[in-house]
Amino acid sequence: MRIEDPKSFLRNYAGPPLRLMEVCGTHTAEISRCGLPSLLPQSIQLISGPGCPVCVTVSAYIDRLIALAHTPDTTVLTFGDLMRVPGPAGSLAGAKAAGGRVEMVYSPLDALQLAQENPRHTYIFAAVGFETTAPVYARLLDRAAQEGLQNLKLLTALKTMPAAIRWLCQNGPGPNGFLAPGHVAVITGARVFRQLAGELGVPFVIAGFTPKGLLSAVAALAALAGQPACENCYPAAVTEEGNPAAQQAVSRWFMPCDSAWRGMGVIPASGLCLRPEHAVFNAGGAQLTEDAALNSACRCAEVLTGRLSPAQCPLFGKACMPLSPQGACMVSTEGSCYHHYINHRNEVPTL
């Protein structure tokens, strides 16, 4: 469905009130940065969902990484955002300051050189992410296996998006439509979201990441309101079948497992765990389910599920700011609270 003038279409929208959710952290960042919500009529609310992998990772996972960082002859490797996520046991940055071994890397492949240079030392990579990141970890394990690096392991918190979207639609009033994550769709293909549209009875529009592309996708999603349809507005990168090579690599190393999400609890078959035959690379992860905030007033759980706007959290802009985050949603550069704060995006969901 192509709308010639999406800005005019949205300005003149006269349909029923809509709550439309983006479920991609990069979408959240770009939507906030370019001020897209300010172009929407009051009857259309664009809300953030569980699309930030750091944000949906439960505190028990962080606590386990902290414990591993204090284990002799062990170093935890992680991306930068995960370093500052606060929990009851502290943060990885705090663990490093207290003498724990924690190193920030820019790519999982950076771990290979460390493992090669220090064969008697164990390196544990904090493997978080969605379908987009899983093929990178599969490639890392391919290389580690080829080079015989059994001192490199993963603590997995990998998740898959369809199960979380189902949860949102089955637990309370769900959104009227979804901006499907473009990066995920590159791997899975559009067919996954086409199946979800038919199953859940709501529209999906696969969106790219430019302001113009996002505006067009939101207009298409509003035009499809009430229809179990899926529109691919990112055909330059997303095909119907996705990336078979990436899918095969992930299947070779990982299998579906139950996984805990912040704000949603344990969702069956929503995670990816290492297969039993690859146990030598497994540092655990699947059994980590408990979640507790550093501050009991933190409302990250409700923000991630679209029940609250970040501005409705009592800590937002007061105790909780980018330099003093009380929850993961203010830490991550893909987090909803972070972008509501720095870009003044303050929609309030109406349930």
pLDDT at 3: 87
Over the stretch 74-89, which tens digit does the pLDDT of each residue have? 999 999 889 999 888 8
| pLDDT over threshold 80, residue 213 | yes
Over the stretch 178-198, which tens digit does the pLDDT of each residue have? 999 999 999 999 999 999 999
Question: Looking at residue 138, what DSSP letter applies?
Answer: H
Helices and strands counted in the chain (H then E): 16, 11
pLDDT at 349: 47
Over the stretch 122-181, which tens digit does the pLDDT of each residue have? 999 999 999 999 999 999 999 999 999 999 999 999 999 999 999 999 998 889 999 999
Amino acid of residue 248:
Q
227 in Cβ contact with 203 (< 8 Å) = yes
pLDDT at 347: 55
Listed in order, strand segments (DSSP E) in 6-85 are 18-22, 44-48, 74-78
Global pTM value? 0.92
pLDDT at 350: 42
Cα–Cα distance list, 16 to 12, 95, 171, 225, 226 (Å): 12, 50, 22, 9, 10
The two tokens of residue 316 are 């937002």
| pLDDT over threshold 90, residue 294 | no
pLDDT at 10: 94
Over the stretch 13-53, which tens digit does the pLDDT of each residue have? 999 999 999 999 999 999 999 999 999 999 999 999 999 99
pLDDT at 351: 37
- Per DSSP, the residues of 192-260 read HHHHHHHHHT--EEE--SSHHHHHHHHHHHHHTTT---EEES-TTT--SS--HHHHHHHHHHEEEEEEE
Confidence at 92, pLDDT banded by 50, 70, 90: very high
Q: Which residue has the higher pLDDT, 119 or 292?
A: 119
Cα–Cα distance, 309 to 114 (Å, whole number): 42
| pLDDT over threshold 90, residue 253 | yes
